[in-house]
Structure 1
Amino acid sequence: MSKELLNLRRAALLGSAATLLASSFTGVAVAQDQSGDDEFVIEEVIVTGSLIRNPNLVRSAPVAVVSTDEMTFQQTNVAEEILREIPGMVPSIGSNVNNGNGGFSYVNLRGIGSNRNIVLIDGQRLSPSELNGRFDLNNVPLALVERVDVLTGGASTTYGADALGGVVNFVTKRDFNGVEMNAAYGVTEEGDGDTKRFEVTMGTDLGDGKGNAVVSIGYQDSKPVYQGDRAYSECSLGSGNGLCGGSGLGPFNTRFGNVNPTGTDGGNLALGGVQDDRTFGAAFTPFNFNPFNVYQTPFERYNIYAAANYEIAEGVEVYTRGIFSRNVVETIIAPSGAFGDSVTVSLSHPYLSDAQRNAFCAFDTQAGAGYTPLFTQAECDAAATATSQSDPNYREVDTQLRRRNVEGGPRISEYSADYFDYQLGFRGDITESISWDVFGSYGESRQSQLQQGYWLKSRFRQGLLAGPDGCFDASNGCVPVDFFGPTGSINEEMTAFLQGGESTVVTKFDMAQVKGVVSGETGWTLPWASEAVNFAVGGEYRKYTGAQKSDLLSKGGDLGGAGGAAPDISGGYSVYEGVAEFVVPVVSDASWAKSLNFEAGIRYSDYSIDADTNPSFSTTTWKLGTSWTPVDDLTFRATFARAVRAPNIAELFAPVTTNLTNLGDDPCASVDDNGQVVNSGPTGVVRDVCIAQGAPAGAIGAIPFPAAGQANYTGGGNIDLTPEKSDSWTLGAIIQPAAVPGLTVTIDYYNIKVKEAIAQPTPNDALDACFDNPSTSNPACLAIVRSPIDGSLSGDEAVVKGLPLTYSNSGNLATDGIDVTVSYGHTFGAVDWNSTFAGNWTNSSTFEAVTGVSGQRECVGLYSANCASIQPKFSWNWRNTFSVDKFDVSVMWRHIDGNAYEFEGDLFEGELPNNLGYANFNKIGSYDYFDLSVRYNVLENVSITGTVSNLFDKEPPIVGNDTGSTSYNSGNTYPSTYDALGRRYGISAKVTF
């Protein structure tokens, strides 16, 4: 049997070859025998999904596998890119979106949430990177990764809480000897988005083969790709009208009160900055924020990985592993400003023209059309001369301010993240068939966010309270700010006062754990089996601690356009656990069963929360599985697992604050973000409800939709949360027909349900809870708090609390589907052909935020603010690799099925501006991408690989900029799902000696 076929056969026997994404896969670590023949010796086994390490036992859980070759052909720069390509995986927040991305990259298995899976290295849990308990994939040492195993479904019995969606296990190279150097460079066809990666790995045996030590050092740098540098994203397209527009908060339209730019009618005072005479009511010009955003976030990383093991006594080994990385990410978004914040305008302000002052005096925010002026003309004229707030002639107006800080430049956040995780353990043999393993580890993540370019709310409020002699309070260097003139009227001195320096938020998370396992054979064999019953029993202790510390500017919510306050958070919890697993070979070599195995496991966990009330809870998880091989060519497998996820530190301890969420519609609103009146406004009981929520009666018919598709919401942690529960099961088969040597086919059905899910209602859920049954006595209606000035759900978070979106155990999640893989290899003369196909069909993926109230929302094949990341019905990868002598030529075909807008028909369809052609924002057709890779083995120890990604330069689908969540819908498309960079070229070299 060839080496390749032997490896494939062993992979299938281990039950870990559910997805073979490369031409070769090793299910266990292997080495060539010293005699030089083709026999392989098993050195060490890392089995994903079980504490039992016996490689001879067929497992029941399907595991998707990505090999080193696949990573080489992909020209992968970060681990998140590897996982994103696996069919059935749903993109999480990564490097392709900068608004809302703090520099971290996560994995979202099956679309049930990036916080519902665990990332492992060599089967061991690592410390999370942030307060939501997620591990940052940027910390994975790619140079040492041998393969990536992805186990879908509940794995809490083996690995503890959080593994509802499954686990991702990065298996590193074992017993590394020599030196390996890797260098890679990539660039788009447009000449931007340069990426560079360098790695050096060194390893050697210790003490005449008693141990081994390895260290890997790496550096990576990625340059930005701006949306303004692509024709399809240089202009923000309105999803409802297809027009080149953007935010209603721009440089040419300072606004006070409502956003209806028609002068004072309807309760609005809009200042057109292009007017030299400084009168209200100039034409509306939207602000195009796209050129400030990026499709590739600038990123720099340094990382070190070191590991060693040594036999300190006969049958006793000490081992250690350390990871350190430093990531620096710079995110850039459009300029900040005043986004409907409450302000008081002095009518003696030195930059206020007579016409503008008269408009303010004639303005009544509570009346709208048919208003009664605030002040008489005589009072208004006298107010212009007031030099202080104690002057009898002094008058002021309470209103809202909308003005973007174009003069001050974009908002810039620099995230610096330091991560380390250190492990020390001992393992050895109790008998020839039973071993023990005890280790402890401590990991810590520290991220510092430095924010620049933000206006301070306290200062633009202070800059509006001024008279002819300057600010009424000039103790901090206040200068009157000209919010009433054209772009450029806010000069450098005003900008320096408004921005007031930098702000810092520091987040720290650490985890300490101790774990011990005894495993091996019991020595007891069933009469019909040839293998003994295998077991593993163990105990664990983990302690989690997290904190967020903000300076006064961030903590107090003083940064204009920051989305709300960043309050201090502090908390932690600990857990004691006991676990047992068994694999029972039932039958071997019978006429009806070449093998029949049964496996089971159980874990008990006891949690203690660090809180004043000291709440605690316990959970029990368990799993059952079976594999049956009736004939050599066919294996059936099935699993059932109960898993849990404990609430994380952010969900438990985050204070209740008001922030921003995505929302494009509002039953009370009439004026869109471009200033156009699109309906006459609510009537009857709906009108009464809008007023009961705080909207002025005079604003009805002129209430704006959420600014830039974002509305205020109020929510936070809940110390009374309890663990959510999951039931998952799989049923599948492995087919390896002897009649077709080299062919392996797997098919697996999966079904995952999460009950009592920790969830926040979606924005539409909060609105539906009210407006599906509108009443001024409906608590769901009264819980919504609107602006008292213009009735919108946007504005000053101290006043406009918006939608109530609080955490509770009220949610339900469910998904099911089928994975299919086909792997085949054949030799045609001098050409070796290896073909691997991995496909996924997702039948359903539903989310219910509030059981029995919000309803099951289906998100497969749909996109919207409710269905954040795209999850297609069908997706597949098909790689074909042809090898001739020193050359490998590999082609990857990636397919993404078509998708549709959740509320199909509501979005734009027609000809787009700027020669972008025809588009239908309500639908995205199926997409096919092709990647070409060529590898040349220059010498036995030198290889060069070149890759062209998106070979045919296929542009992404255009759906507008406010179709969905800003974490995924950016630059008029979904850049984490579809390629927004265009054709890219990559070259890498590997040298070993």
Structure 2
Amino acid sequence: MKSETKLARAGLMLGGSAAAMLFAAPALAQVAPQEGVVAQDAATPADAIVVTGTLIRNPNLVATSPVTSVTSEELQLRQTNLAEQFLRELPGVVPSLGSAVNNGNGGASYVNLRGLGANRNLVLLDGTRIAPADLDGIVDLNNIPIALIERTDILTGGASTTYGADAVSGVINFITKRDFSGLEATASNQITERGDGNVFRIDVTVGANFDDGRGNAVFSVGYQEADPVLQGARDYSVENISSYTGLAGGSGTTVPSRFTGLGLGDNQQIDPATGALIPTYAQFNFNPQNIFQTPFERFNMFGSAWYELADGVEVYTRGLFSKNTVQTVIASSGTFGNTVTVPFSNPYLPTAARNQICAAQSISAADCAAAAAATDPTNPAYRTFQTNAFRRFVEAGPRLSTYTTQLFDYQAGLRGDITDGIQFDISGSYGESENSQRQSGNGTLTRVRQATLATNTETCLDDSNGCVPLNLFGPAGSITPDQLGFLLGVTNGTITKTSLAQARGVISGDVGFASPGAETPVSFALGTEYRKYQAQVISDELTQRPDEVLGNGRASPDVSGGYDVYEGFVELIAPLIEDRPFFNSLTLEAGGRVSHYSTAGTNWTWKAGGSWEPTSALKIRGNYQKATRAPNIFELFQPNVRDLNNLTVDPCQGPGVQPGTPLGTVCAAQIVAGGATQAQANALLGNIPTPSAGQINTTIGGNADLDVERATTWTIGAVIQPTFFSGFSASIDYYNITIKDAITTPTIGDALSACFTPLQPATSAACAGIGRDPVDGSLNGTASGLPLPYSNLGRLMTDGIDVVLNYRRDLGFAGLALSFNGNWTNRNKFQATPTSVNRECVGFYSVNCESIQPEFSFNQRTTLSFGAADVSLLWRYIDGVKYEPLALADDIAAADGDETAGPLERFRTIGAEHYFDLTTRFGVTENFDLTFSVLNLLDNQPKVVGANIGSTAYNSGNVYPSTYDALGRRFAVSGRVTF
């Protein structure tokens, strides 16, 4: 049934796209191109210098891989400010880290083509790599110079043979204007209907041809600033909503403080009225302090030049510099279940709470009173107790992380003619990126423990560093400025440095002869390439210590690593038959690359493809490739660290888990592994709390033994330009990508299911690897949590269909331009290990399926041109999605088969979404134009699904803000002056 539904959807996509494009009558005359999203074969100029997908520089040949291009005109109509923004809205691209991600954003923006991971697609600038942003080797899209982009090519399927590793799922190639001459200045401003989220951008570009056209130089400088949009400023995200109860909820790290591990049963929270410990009654609503649009500031410069030294010999150069600052704003820090030791004589400990704790620990009333009076540790009556404390430092405001990235990348080269038909191109480049993170508002665990271990309000037992005793037991406002000054009196930060040095030499052209059935000569490219990656993380001492920086997620130990690669490659395009009946052309394409990595040894990639044009109106094309990806520096060298991820239901939580039962035996063994005795572990069973704020600890780290992952990719499709339908062009392509030996980590569901579904012995590797907190038995606090190691045991697979349609005609009173770009994703399967679930994430969302990938999506643009004025409507469609069935099954299993378990029914689906953006552009004078846009014209609001149904980075503010517009209707205006 499901396969029939998918086939029906594919048919609907084709039929719907045809209907969207073909409602106009046959063309009377073709109007001037109104560029948008086009298939490269159908609409890109034939003399384009850069042909994405091949290194053969023959303008008469087009590679067989499908390439979709987004033109500069389209970016102007979209009022695009960042490359990540328009890429994440394209069909077939799954939103990755970007401006809508707050908790989990490291100051960079990425692209995730086909949903296979941002580390499996390659980002190029004019066909050349630039310095990556992090240890994963991924390019930060914040550094792409939008003002000088001529077009953006997106190639489907593997391209490792042409560009080397990382191009498993495809390539995004930003191509700049080569011969810009004159001056162009653009200023734009964008603001939401609600008056927030203002974005200002200005770019100035100047260029000139010189020496009678023998050279050209261009220089562009830009500035951009974006203001934040708080989640508390939108009705649907003011309160943190539980996906499982529908009630206002939030974090268990709250105020007044919550305590676990006291032997008092359920989680205990201080009652401000009586000072007694009572079952938890108030969670912390962290939404208002979080944001939907990260504050952003960027300065960027780009310059390029070329000069013809002699006939057929040209020197060229390109330089890029960017400095951008991204700030994330996360709710107040605190002690997130950290274990603290508290004297019974702590001056802030309420009497009622003290008496309860004494009773739970079988301390008599007389001894309890004596302990309350014993302020000197040498006093025999002096006693302490341990607890996991959950208390927000709301008095300090939010946590701020400021990421400042500086990147420069420089390239120089020489190219020219060896003979009339053979050219050479020799180039070298070097780039560096430095990302500096500074954090504030966190506090440190050492100082909390020092300040809690106090027996008076003036000094701590250890006051060597000016310690101020901390009141963990009072309501909001009870932590004084002096106490905060001590807790927050230290700052912390991390610097991530990366560099990429590369050199390449290519000889390309034609071999001087053609096949017997063709006139166009066989063309080739062969060459060699060298790349050296280096990266390091330098952290201060606080940031390196596990759990030391409160609310910081994982520690950031120093990391240093690198590798280099030597490669040789060859490509061939051979026209076999031309200008014959039923064979307007028949072309073969092939290529191979050998790569030697200092970390992964020698491996081969190759490709074979071809195209057949029975007539000039139809081209059928196909391509088959064997691609590889070598492990990156993070996957190889990152030390094991504790991280955070989402989980709402812990299989060991609740009163039903008791000692002696099979489940109780497994849970107790995991608590013992965390540092408790068997007796302590048994005592905790039945009282293990639910994950705090829907988050648990995990352990991640690199693996120096990783090998390359290997992919098989193939595409088959057609390009149609019918002679009887002037102005119309279309391309349809099926893609299939399968990756084996994939470098992956298990999902949360995988790690839990391996132990608990079905239940395995406590000594099994899957169960023994899980570490729990020794004080309360949870997966929070000091727990090592779920192990999520890297391995080559994974397998990924995706396939689908891309459709691109374009139509232009003259209506007499106006010019009409229509474009359609659609994607149908059939499957996206992920299996972390051979024994893991082969998980399907197309059309589903959960903690296992991070960023939403709809089954069907499209962009359709309609533009009417009235002389110097254009009116354009962009229609963006996202198919409906639902809660992952396997995640629901896990929820039910964790609830002992309760069919009502899991998220509420109303949160289990997100309906299909339609967005409309209306743009009007006026040519006020020959040198000045204005563009006005209303984005999200109908002010669509995102579907609320609660705050803990998906992963932290993408399920934020009760919605999925990277996929669905969380800002609402926005107004944008830009002005452009050209000379």
Shifted more, 429-438 versus 465-474: the winner is 465-474
Structure 1 residue 73: Cα displacement: 0.8
Structure 1 residue 680: Cα displacement: 6.7
CA distance in 1, matches of 2:379, 2:307: 84
Q: Say which of 398, 401, 404 aligns to 2:389.
A: 401
Contact 1:449–1:506 (Cα < 8 Å) also in 2: yes
- Partner of residue 461, structure 1: 449
Structure 1 residue 701: Cα displacement: 2.2
What amino acid does structure 2 have at the position aligned with 1:854? S
Q: SS state of the match for residue 766, structure 2? A: helix
What amino acid does structure 1 have at the position aligned with 2:500? M
Structure 1 residue 400: Cα displacement: 1.2
What amino acid does structure 1 have at the position aligned with 2:377? Q
CA distance in 2, matches of 1:663, 1:108: 24
Contact 1:253–1:285 (Cα < 8 Å) also in 2: no
Structure 1 residue 682: Cα displacement: 8.9
Q: Say which of 887, 899, 909 aligns to 2:881.
A: 899
Contact 1:104–1:136 (Cα < 8 Å) also in 2: yes
Q: Say which of 81, 86, 94 aligns to 1:82.
A: 86
CA distance in 1, matches of 2:846, 2:659: 24
How big is each residue's C-alpha offset from its partner over 1:72-113, in whole Å with a ceiling of 9 and x where there is no partner?
Answer: 110001001121121111111110121011221100000000
Is it true that 1:286 corresponds to 2:283 in the alignment? yes
Q: Say which of 585, 598, 606 aligns to 2:588.
A: 598
Structure 1 residue 8: Cα displacement: 10
How big is each residue's C-alpha offset from its partner over 1:902-961, in whole Å with a ceiling of 9 and x where there is no partner?
Answer: 1386899xxxxxxxxx98100011111111110111112211111111111111111000
CA distance in 2, matches of 1:204, 1:58: 30
Q: Say which of 923, 926, 930 aligns to 1:944.
A: 930
RMSD: 2.1
How big is each residue's C-alpha offset from its partner over 1:662-721, in whole Å with a ceiling of 9 and x where there is no partner?
Answer: 222211112xxxxxx8x6779821111111111722222221121111111112011111
CA distance in 1, matches of 2:169, 2:640: 28
- Partner of residue 663, structure 1: 647
Q: Say which of 747, 766, 774 aligns to 2:751.
A: 766
CA distance in 2, matches of 1:485, 1:182: 55
Is it true that 1:626 corresponds to 2:650 in the alignment? no
- Partner of residue 988, structure 1: 974
Is it true that 1:720 corresponds to 2:724 in the alignment? no
Structure 1 residue 482: Cα displacement: 0.9
How big is each residue's C-alpha offset from its partner over 1:714-734, in whole Å with a ceiling of 9 and x where there is no partner?
Answer: 120111111111110000011
Structure 1 residue 17: Cα displacement: 3.9
Q: Superposition pairs for residues 259-658 of structure 1, below 5 Å? A: 265-266=264-265, 268-272=267-271, 274-275=272-273, 277-281=274-278, 284-364=281-361, 373=362, 375-468=363-456, 470-557=459-546, 558-609=548-599, 616-658=600-642
Contact 1:661–1:712 (Cα < 8 Å) also in 2: yes
Q: Say which of 849, 866, 872 aligns to 2:854.
A: 872
Contact 1:669–1:681 (Cα < 8 Å) also in 2: no
Structure 1 residue 461: Cα displacement: 0.6
CA distance in 1, matches of 2:937, 2:147: 26
Q: SS state of the match for residue 446, structure 2? A: helix
CA distance in 1, matches of 2:774, 2:280: 26
CA distance in 1, matches of 2:355, 2:762: 37
What amino acid does structure 1 have at the position aligned with 2:666? V
CA distance in 2, matches of 1:682, 1:96: 45
Would the alpha carbon gap of residues 224 and 267 (structure 1) be closer, same or farther in structure 2, given more than 3 Å must change? Answer: closer
What amino acid does structure 1 have at the position aligned with 2:730? V
What amino acid does structure 2 have at the position aligned with 1:477? G
Contact 2:268–2:279 (Cα < 8 Å) also in 1: no
What amino acid does structure 2 have at the position aligned with 1:314? D
Would the alpha carbon gap of residues 598 and 488 (structure 1) be closer, same or farther in structure 2, given more than 3 Å must change? Answer: same
CA distance in 2, matches of 1:564, 1:349: 31
How big is each residue's C-alpha offset from its partner over 1:378-411, in whole Å with a ceiling of 9 and x where there is no partner?
Answer: 3222222323322222111122111111111111
CA distance in 2, matches of 1:3, 1:585: 33
Structure 2: state its 5+ residue gaps: 1-26, 673-680, 893-903
- Partner of residue 964, structure 1: 950
- Partner of residue 45, structure 2: 27
- Partner of residue 247, structure 1: 251
Structure 1 residue 353: Cα displacement: 2.9
Is it true that 1:828 corresponds to 2:805 in the alignment? no
- Partner of residue 158, structure 1: 162
How big is each residue's C-alpha offset from its partner over 1:444-475, in whole Å with a ceiling of 9 and x where there is no partner?
Answer: 00011000001210011111111237311100
Query: Normalising to structure 2: TM-score of the pair?
Result: 0.92
What amino acid does structure 1 have at the position aligned with 2:801? I
CA distance in 1, matches of 2:76, 2:261: 57
Shifted more, 381-390 versus 70-79: the winner is 381-390
Q: Superposition pairs for residues 824-863 of structure 1, below 5 Å? A: 824-850=807-833, 852-863=834-845
Q: Say which of 16, 19, 36 aligns to 2:40.
A: 16
Contact 1:216–1:304 (Cα < 8 Å) also in 2: yes
Structure 1 residue 863: Cα displacement: 0.2
Q: Superposition pairs for residues 670-685 of structure 1, below 5 Å? A: 670=654, 684-685=661-662
Q: SS state of the match for residue 693, structure 1? A: helix
- Partner of residue 818, structure 1: 801
- Partner of residue 204, structure 1: 208
Contact 2:256–2:269 (Cα < 8 Å) also in 1: no
Is it true that 1:229 corresponds to 2:201 in the alignment? no
CA distance in 2, matches of 1:659, 1:333: 16
Is it true that 1:63 corresponds to 2:67 in the alignment? yes
Would the alpha carbon gap of residues 5 and 27 (structure 1) be closer, same or farther in structure 2, given more than 3 Å must change? Answer: farther
CA distance in 2, matches of 1:497, 1:402: 19
Q: SS state of the match for residue 880, structure 1? A: strand
How big is each residue's C-alpha offset from its partner over 1:234-267, in whole Å with a ceiling of 9 and x where there is no partner?
Answer: 1110000111111121112332437xxxxx6316
CA distance in 1, matches of 2:396, 2:34: 60
CA distance in 2, matches of 1:791, 1:251: 22
Is it true that 1:96 corresponds to 2:85 in the alignment? no
What amino acid does structure 2 have at the position aligned with 1:774? Q
- Partner of residue 673, structure 1: none
Structure 1 residue 7: Cα displacement: 7.4
How big is each residue's C-alpha offset from its partner over 1:734-773, in whole Å with a ceiling of 9 and x where there is no partner?
Answer: 1111111111121110000111111111111111111123
Structure 1 residue 69: Cα displacement: 1.3
CA distance in 2, matches of 1:768, 1:460: 36
Contact 1:329–1:416 (Cα < 8 Å) also in 2: yes
Contact 1:7–1:27 (Cα < 8 Å) also in 2: no
Shifted more, 738-747 versus 195-204: the winner is 738-747
CA distance in 2, matches of 1:750, 1:582: 22
The percent of aligned pairs where both chains have the same amino acid is 50
CA distance in 1, matches of 2:396, 2:866: 59
- Partner of residue 919, structure 2: 933
- Partner of residue 721, structure 2: 736
- Partner of residue 688, structure 1: 665
CA distance in 2, matches of 1:978, 1:152: 24
Would the alpha carbon gap of residues 682 and 577 (structure 1) be closer, same or farther in structure 2, given more than 3 Å must change? Answer: farther
Would the alpha carbon gap of residues 58 and 483 (structure 1) be closer, same or farther in structure 2, given more than 3 Å must change? Answer: closer
What amino acid does structure 2 have at the position aligned with 1:840? N
Structure 1 residue 790: Cα displacement: 1.3
Would the alpha carbon gap of residues 640 and 5 (structure 1) be closer, same or farther in structure 2, given more than 3 Å must change? Answer: farther
CA distance in 2, matches of 1:291, 1:145: 37
What amino acid does structure 1 have at the position aligned with 2:354? R
CA distance in 1, matches of 2:860, 2:98: 24
How big is each residue's C-alpha offset from its partner over 1:881-907, in whole Å with a ceiling of 9 and x where there is no partner?
Answer: 011111111111111110000138689
Structure 1: state its 5+ residue gaps: 19-24, 29-41, 259-263, 365-372, 610-615, 671-676, 909-917
Contact 1:876–1:894 (Cα < 8 Å) also in 2: yes
What amino acid does structure 2 have at the position aligned with 1:541? Y
